[in-house]
Amino acid sequence: MSLPGLNLATTPSQTQVTAAPTSAHKQELAANTEYRFEASFTHPLTIKLLSGTAEIFGSELGPLTPYTFRGTKAAVYTWNGCSLEIEGTAESEYVAEETTMMNYANAHFALEGMRDEAAKNNDSGPRVLIVGPENSGKTSLAKVLTSYALKMDRQPMVVNLDPREGMLSPPGSFSAAALSSILDVEKGWGSSPISGPSPVPVKMPIVYHYGMSSPEEGKLFKPLVTRMALAVTSRLEKDVASRHAGFIIDTSGAISHGKGGIYENIDHIIAEFSVNLVFVLGSERLNSDLTRKYANRKEEPVVVIKLDKSGGCVDRDEAYMKKLRQSQIKSYFFGDGGENVLYPTLTFADFTDLNIFQIQQASNDTSAFRPGDDDDEDVYGSRPIYEKMTPTTLLQNTLLAVTTASPNDRQDVIRDSSIKGYIFIAEVDEAKQKLRVLSPQPGRMPSNAMVMGSFPEDVPGLLE
Amino acid sequence: MSITSAEVAADFKDALQDLKTNSRPEISNLTIIAKENTEHAQAISGELEKHIRTTRPDWKLPALYVLDSIVKNVGTPYTVYLGRNLYRTFMDAYMVMDPANRRAMDGLLKTWKQPVPDSMDTRPVFAPEVTRDIENTLIKIRTHTVQAQQTLPQRPHGLPPRPTANPMANGPWRNTPTPPQGHPRFAVPNDPRLRQNVAQPNPYGSPAPHQFTTPTPQPFPMGPPLGELESVQADVAQLIASLAPSDMKRQSLLDLQTLLNNQSLPNVPPLTSQQLQAIRAQIQALTPSPAPAMPQYAPPVPNLPQPFLQTPPQNAPPSFPPAGAALNLAQILAAAQARPVVPQSSTPVNAPPAVNLADILRQVSVPAQSSTTTAAMPFFPPPSFPPVPPPVVQPTPPPAPTPTNNLAQLLASLPKPASAQAPQPPSLPLGLPTGGPATATPDWLLNALKGLPQSASGAAFPPQVPASSTPMARQASGATNTTERVEMTSASLKQPRFHLINKLYGARPNVCATCGRRFASTPEGKERKARHLDWHFDVRDSTANRSGVHRSWYIDEREWIDYKDFDESSPPDAAQSTESAAAPKEDPKEKYVRVPSDISKRVPCPICQEKFDTNVRWHQAANDFVWMDAVEIKGRIYHATCWEEFQKGASIPAPTTPDSVLGKRKAERDSPASGKKIRAF
Ligand SMILES: Nc1ncnc2c1ncn2[C@@H]1O[C@H](COP(=O)(O)OP(=O)(O)OP(=O)(O)O)[C@@H](O)[C@H]1O
Ligand SMILES: [Mg+2]
Ligand SMILES: [Zn+2]
Ligand SMILES: [Zn+2]
C-alpha cells in the first residue's frame, strides 16, 4: 500500500513546494465558536492567526505564525473572536457555534481549585481518569485540560494508556510525562527528545511497550498499568510541582464497554493510580455504572462526572487510524519534515545480534472463558509471556521495542521494563542470516531484550 | 585583500536568507555589513531588492526593515541605489502582504518622508518624488478596493465562500467606475517614472493577494473623504508604534485600531468625518511632544506580540521596559475625564458610570454566546449580554469633542449599525442611516460585534484589560488567585463562567510572538518571558546545522522517576544555584560539550581512549544532549578531567570507568541543569 502522505515528510524538495502560497482565505470567527476542519495526509492545511485569540484543544496559536496540519481532525476555538488565514484545501470544514469548551474550561477551573488546595497542604493534586467510548473526545479533553493547566504555570503529568494512539511515542505503547511550558499546536503533545535542539520544548516520557491494539486483549494490560502507576507514584513523591498539579490519564475506548456492567480495566486503573476523579464522555450508561460503584464508596470515594461530548468529535475509521499510526511511526524515526527532519541510521545486523521476544497471543484465546482466573498464575507460572524467536521473514517491516531489560532477565522483568525506543526491521535475509535495521540512534545495536507484538501493524512504506 | 562585490553580495545574501523574523541582532548585523562595505553598495542594494522581491511574503517585512535600517543608519549611497527601485520594491511587496504587514509598511513609508530623527540632515530619508509616487499608488489601490468591496456580495453566515481560483472570472471590476486598464487585478500599477515598463507579473500570481483584505477598505460610499480614515489609522498606528509593548495605553490603542479597522466590516457604518477628526484630536493629544513621528530606526525587537508594530522609539528600552514606565491610557483618560456624559442608562450592566476606553472595549470584546444572562459579576465581561434594549434614539451625534473630551465619550458617540446578528442582504447597507446618528449608546458596538467577525476586540493579542481602573492590580491574578471556587459537580460545570477565562488570557497579556506562550505583565512574568525568548534564541541559533540529528532513546524508569522537568522560562532553581555556588572553581566534570551531530567526531577521548557514550546527558540549559566531563580543544574532544590532568603534566590517568564517573557525582547535582544520565549511543 502506498502512503503518499508519509513520503512527503522526508523529502525537503516537496515540503518546499507546499510552503508556496496557494489559496489562502480569511476566516473570521465570532467569540465562542470554533472552526472545525479535517486536513488530509496528502494536502496540508496551514492556519495562521491574524488577529484575536485562538486555540486548538487548549493550545494557543501564536500570532501570525503559520501552523501546518496533515492528517489532522481538529478545531480552532476562540474565546474572544479571531481572524484566521487558512491556506490549502480542507477535506471538510465548518464553523460550529455550539461547543463544549465552557464545560471543559469549568472542569479546568474546578481542577485548579483542587490544585490550590493540594499546594496548600503539600498534598497530591487531582488524579483524573478520562473514560468513554471510541472517539468521544477523551484525548482532546486531556489536551485541553493539560494546556490550560500549563497556561497557569502548572506542571501536570499525563498518562496515556491507549495503545491505538501514541503520546510522545509510536502507537502500541503506554507513556507518561510531566509537561511544562506549552504543548505543540501542530503535533498535539509535542516530541520526545532528539539529539539536537527542538523548536518546541521537548517532553521527557517514560514508555512501556504494550504491543497489542486493545487493553481487553491478552494479559499484559493490568501488570503494565500496575508498573506504570508505580513509576508515576514514585515520581510524584519527588516532583513537587507535578504532585500538586496531579495527573490526567487518557484511555482507550475499549475499556469503557465493559462486560455486564463490569469494567475490570477501569477498576484496575482506579485502584493502581488511586484515581479520585473520573471524567466520563459520551456514555450515560458508563457514567451511571461508575457513579453507582464509586461515588458513594465509604473509603477513598471517587468523584464521577459526566462531561459533554463535543459535536466535533469525528469517527475515525480504521483506514484513517492506520494512516495516523503510520505517520506517528514515521515521525518517530524521521521527524516531521521541514525544519524538523531527523536522521535515523540504517544498519546491518546478524540474526544473533538481536534478542527478540514475541508476545504469546495464544494465551488470550482461553482467557475469555475463565473470567475468574488468576493473572499471577499465568504470568509468573507455567505459561510464558514471550517466546524467544529467531528472525524470520515475518519480521520484515515490523517494529521491535528495545527494552531496558537484559535478554537473560525473567520474562516478567522484561515485560515490566520501560523501553529505550523502537527499531524497524527493514529487511530479513534468511539465507545470509542478516537483517537491515532502522534505528533512531546511531551506534551498535543494543543487546537488550527486544519485544515484538502484534501491534502496531507492519509499516511497509516506511523507507520509501 | 580586495574582495569583489560579488563576494560581498553573496555574504550579504547568505545572511539575508536566514532572516525570517524581525530579529534585532540579524538586522543590525546586516546593517553593519552594509555600512562596512559602502564601496559595494550597488551590489548589496541589488541583493536586498532581489531578496525582498523573491522571498516568501511573511519574510518580506523583516527584509524591508533591513532596507529601512540601512537607509537610515548608513544613508548614501544606499538611499540612491535603493531609491531608484524603491517604487517597485515597495509596491511588489505591498501587494502580497496581509493587512497587518501593510500597516507596518505604511508606517515605514511615513518615516521615509521625514528626515532621519535627531540627524543634522533635514532632508527626508528618501527624496519626495520617490515616496510620493508610492503614496499616490497606495491611494489608488485603496480606492479600487473600496469600489470592489461594494460590488462583492455580502458574506453569508458561517463560512465565507472560497475565493475562486481566478478572481478575474468573477469580474469583480464589472461595476467599478475605474476599472484597471488591462492590468491583472492586483498587479502593481506601473511606476510612473518607468513608464516603459510593462507591469511585472506579481511573483505570487494574481490570485494570492486577492485573499487578503486591503488595509483600509471602506464599504460605504457615504463615509468621510477617502484617506481620512487611513490617516487617522496611520496616526494611531504611529502612536502605538511609539509606545513600549508593555504600555497599557498601547493596549487600548490597539483596540481602537481594531475598531477603526473594523470600518471595513460590512455592517459597521462609517465614522463621520467629524468623529474621525475628534479621534484624531485625541490621538494627537496623546502623542508625545513634537518628537518625530517614527523615530530613528531602532531595529525591531524580536518576538514582540505584534510584529508590525515593532519599531520602538529610539530612546525606549528595546524590550521589557519597566512596568511603571508609561502611564496607561485608562489612567490618562480617567484623569482627563471631566464628567463623563455617556448616555447609557439603558445598558447598566455593560457600562459602569466611569467609563474609559479600556472598559468599553473590554466589554465589547466578549460577545454573547447564548441568550442566557449571567450578570453576576458586573465588572467582568458578562458571559452573555442581556437582551439589548431598544436603541436610545438621539437625533444628532454629540458635537465633535473638544480635545479635552475623552475617547470613551467619543466612542460612545460613534454610529450604530442597524442590525448585526442577521446576515444582511447586500442591498440593505445602502439603506442604512449612513451618518449613524441614530443612537449614542455604545451598545451598537456590543451588537456589532456579537455574532460578527471579531478581529475587533480580540485584535490585540493580549486581549482585554481587566475592568478595574488600576488594571495592573487585576492582572497579577494567577494560579494562586482563585477567588471563585468552581464546584466539581456536573451541574456546576455546565454554568457559563466567561469571566474566568481571563485567567487564561487577559491575566497573561504578554504573548510570545513565536509560539503564543503567555506571560503575566508582572516583573516576574517579564523575567520569565525574557528567559523564554532567550531559549527561543538559543534554539534558533543551534538549529542551523541539523544534519545527524536523530531521535534519542527514552530515558529509563529510574532516571525518569528522578527527572525533574524544566520549564525554559523558570528561574534557575535552587539546586542549580547551589551547584554553581558549590563549584566556583569550575569542576571539570561539570564541563560539557554538545554531542557532535557529525558521527565521525564521536570518537574516544584522545587521552584515555574511553568513549564518551556513558557521559551522555540531556542538558536542560543547553537544551541538547551533551557529553559531560568534556572539553573541546582545537576541534578534538577530551574528558575535561583528563585534559586537566594532562595540563598539570601528570601522567595519563587510568581509564575512568563509567561507574566511577557517575559515582563521583555529587548528590546536589541531581538537578535539571546537570541533566540525567542518558544511556544512549
Ligand atoms: N471539537 C472538535 N472539533 C473537531 N474535531 C474534533 C473535536 N473534538 C475532537 N475532534 C476530533 O475527533 C476525533 C476523536 O476525538 P478524540 O481523539 O479526542 O477522541 P477519543 O475519545 O480520544 O478517541 P479514541 O477512543 O479513539 O482514543 C479526533 O480526530 C479529534 O481530533
Ligand atoms: Mg484517544
Ligand atoms: Zn515562545
Ligand atoms: Zn579521557
What domains can you pick out in chain B, each with its CATH number? 5-147 (1.25.40.90), 593-647 (no CATH)
Any known ligand binding at A139? yes
Residue A65 belongs to a domain with what CATH number?
2.60.120.1030
Q: What are the distances in angstroms from CA B363 to CA B255, B271, B366, B457?
A: 12, 20, 6, 9
- CB atoms B365 and A332 under 8 Å: no
Based on the fold, state whether residues A443 and A358 are members of the same structural domain.
yes
Q: Looking at the domain assignment, is residue A184 inside a domain? A: yes
Based on the fold, state whether residues A70 and A217 are members of the same structural domain.
no
Q: Which of A213, A208, A175, A209 is nearest to A192 (CA)?
A: A175
Residue recorded with cell 512501556 = A208
Residue A235 belongs to a domain with what CATH number?
3.40.50.300
Cell of A209: 511497550
Cα torsion through A27, A28, A30, A36, rounded to 10: 0
Domain final residue, candidates A66, A99, A132: A99
Q: Count how many domains chain A has.
A: 3
Of ligand 1's listed atoms, the one at least distance from the Cα of A132 is 21
Domain of A212 in residue numbering reads as: 101-307
Any known ligand binding at A173? no
Name which of A80, A178, A238 is nearest B454 (Cβ-Cβ).
A80
Q: Is A325 in the pocket of ligand 1 (CB under 6 A)?
A: no
Residue A348 belongs to a domain with what CATH number?
2.40.30.330
What distance in angstroms lies between residue B627's CA and the mean position of ligand 4's atoms? Answer: 12
pLDDT at B635 (0 to 100): 75
Q: Looking at the domain assignment, is residue A3 inside a domain? A: no
What is the DSSP annotation of B611-633?
A: -SGGGEEEETTTTEEEEESEEEE
pLDDT at A185 (0 to 100): 93
Based on the fold, state whether residues A286 and A358 are members of the same structural domain.
no
A394-407 residue pLDDT tens: 999 999 999 999 99
Based on the fold, state whether residues A139 and A269 are members of the same structural domain.
yes
What distance in angstroms lies between residue A251's CA and the mean position of ligand 2's atoms? Answer: 7
Q: Looking at the domain assignment, is residue A331 inside a domain? A: no
Nearest ligand to the CA atom of A167: 2
Based on the fold, state whether residues A290 and A146 are members of the same structural domain.
yes
pLDDT band for position A148 (50/70/90)? very high
pLDDT along chain B (681 residues), means of 10: 78 86 85 89 92 86 92 89 91 84 89 84 86 86 70 47 40 36 45 47 41 38 51 68 59 63 55 62 58 39 34 38 35 38 40 40 39 33 35 43 43 43 36 34 36 36 36 36 79 94 93 91 91 83 67 92 85 46 58 80 80 79 80 82 69 35 31 32 25
Any known ligand binding at A34? yes
A25-54 residue pLDDT tens: 999 999 999 999 999 999 999 999 999 999
Query: A24 at the B interface (CB within 8 A)?
Result: yes
Q: Looking at the domain assignment, is residue A463 inside a domain? A: no
Q: Looking at the domain assignment, is residue A464 inside a domain? A: no
pLDDT at A373 (0 to 100): 44
pLDDT at B24 (0 to 100): 83
Please state, in angstroms and rounded to a whole number, the distance separating the CA atoms of residues B212 and B55. 18
Domain final residue, candidates A99, A130, A159: A99
Domain final residue, candidates A278, A307, A336: A307
Q: Is A55 in the pocket of ligand 1 (CB under 6 A)?
A: no
Largest Cα–Cα separation, chain A: 66
pLDDT band for position A299 (50/70/90)? confident
Q: B563-576: b or e for each residue (b if 16 or more CB lie within 10 Å)?
A: bbbbbbbbebeeeb
Question: What residues contact residue B548 under an 8 Å CB cut-off, 6+ apart?
Answer: A195, A196, A343, B596, B597, B598, B599
What is the 3-class SS of chain A, one letter each residue?
A: CCCHHHHHCCCHHHHHHHHCCCCEEEEEECCCEEEEEEECCCCCEEEEEEEECCEECCEECCECCCEEECCEEEEEEECCCEEEEEECCCCEEEEECCCCHHHHHHHHHHHHHHHHHHHHCCCCCCEEEEECCCCCCHHHHHHHHHHHHHHCCCCCEEEEECCCCCCCCCCCEEEEEECCCCCECCCECCCCCECCCCCCCCCCCEEEECCCCCCCCCCCHHHHHHHHHHHHHHHHHHCHHHHHHCEEEEECHHHHCCECCECHHHHHHHHHHCCCEEEEECCHHHHHHHHHHHHCCCCCCCEEEEECCCCCCCCCCHHHHHHHHHHHHHHHHHECCHHHECCCEEEEEEHHHCEEEEECCCHHHHHCCCCCCCHHHHHHCCCCCEEEECCCHHHCCCEEEEECCCCCCCHHHHHHCCEEEEEEEEEEECCCCEEEEEECCCCCCCCCEEEECCCCCCCCCCCC
What distance in angstroms lies between residue A327's CA and the mean position of ligand 2's atoms? Answer: 16
Cell of A180: 511544562
Based on the fold, state whether residues A76 and A205 are members of the same structural domain.
no
Q: What are the distances in angstroms from CA B502 to CA A22, B362, B656?
A: 36, 11, 56
Q: Looking at the domain assignment, is residue A321 inside a domain? A: no
Query: A206 at the B interface (CB within 8 A)?
Result: yes
Nearest ligand to the CA atom of B636: 4
Helices and strands, number each (H, E), in chain B: 25, 8
Please state, in angstroms and rounded to a whole number, the distance separating the CA atoms of residues A189 and B633. 39
Mutation choice for ligand 1 from A140, A315, A323, CB with most ligand atoms inside 8 A: A140
Q: Looking at the domain assignment, is residue A143 inside a domain? A: yes
A95-119 residue pLDDT tens: 999 999 999 999 999 999 999 999 9
Largest Cα–Cα separation, chain B: 98
Based on the fold, state whether residues A117 and A94 are members of the same structural domain.
no
What distance in angstroms lies between residue A137's CA and the mean position of ligand 2's atoms? Answer: 7
Q: Is A110 in the pocket of ligand 1 (CB under 6 A)?
A: no
Based on the fold, state whether residues A47 and A135 are members of the same structural domain.
no
- CB atoms B454 and A83 under 8 Å: yes
Q: How many CB atoms lie within 10 A of CB B652?
A: 11
Strands B630-633 and B624-628: unpaired
Position B588, amino acid: P
Cα torsion through B600, B601, B602, B603, rounded to 10: 100
Residues of A in contact with B367 (CB under 8 A): 30-32, 81
Based on the fold, state whether residues A155 and A190 are members of the same structural domain.
yes
Of ligand 1's listed atoms, the one at least distance from the Cα of A134 is 25
Chain B closest-CA separation from residue A411 CA (Å): 17
Assessment of whether the complete model's pTM goes beyond 0.90: no
Based on the fold, state whether residues A260 and A353 are members of the same structural domain.
no
The number of angstroms, rounded, from the C-alpha of B140 to the middle of its chain's C-alpha atoms is 28
Please state, in angstroms and rounded to a whole number, the distance separating the CA atoms of residues A228 and A218. 18
Nearest ligand to the CA atom of B627: 4
Based on the fold, state whether residues A153 and A106 are members of the same structural domain.
yes
Q: Looking at the domain assignment, is residue A1 inside a domain? A: no
Based on the fold, state whether residues A74 and A182 are members of the same structural domain.
no
> Taking a C-beta distance cutoff of 8 angstroms, is the pair B562, A355 a contact?
no
What is the DSSP annotation of B528-594?
A: HHHHHHHHHHHHHHHTS--TT--BPPPP-HHHHHH-----TTSPP-HHHHHHHHH-TT--GGG-EEE
ipTM for the whole complex: 0.91
Higher-pLDDT residue of A217, B265:
A217
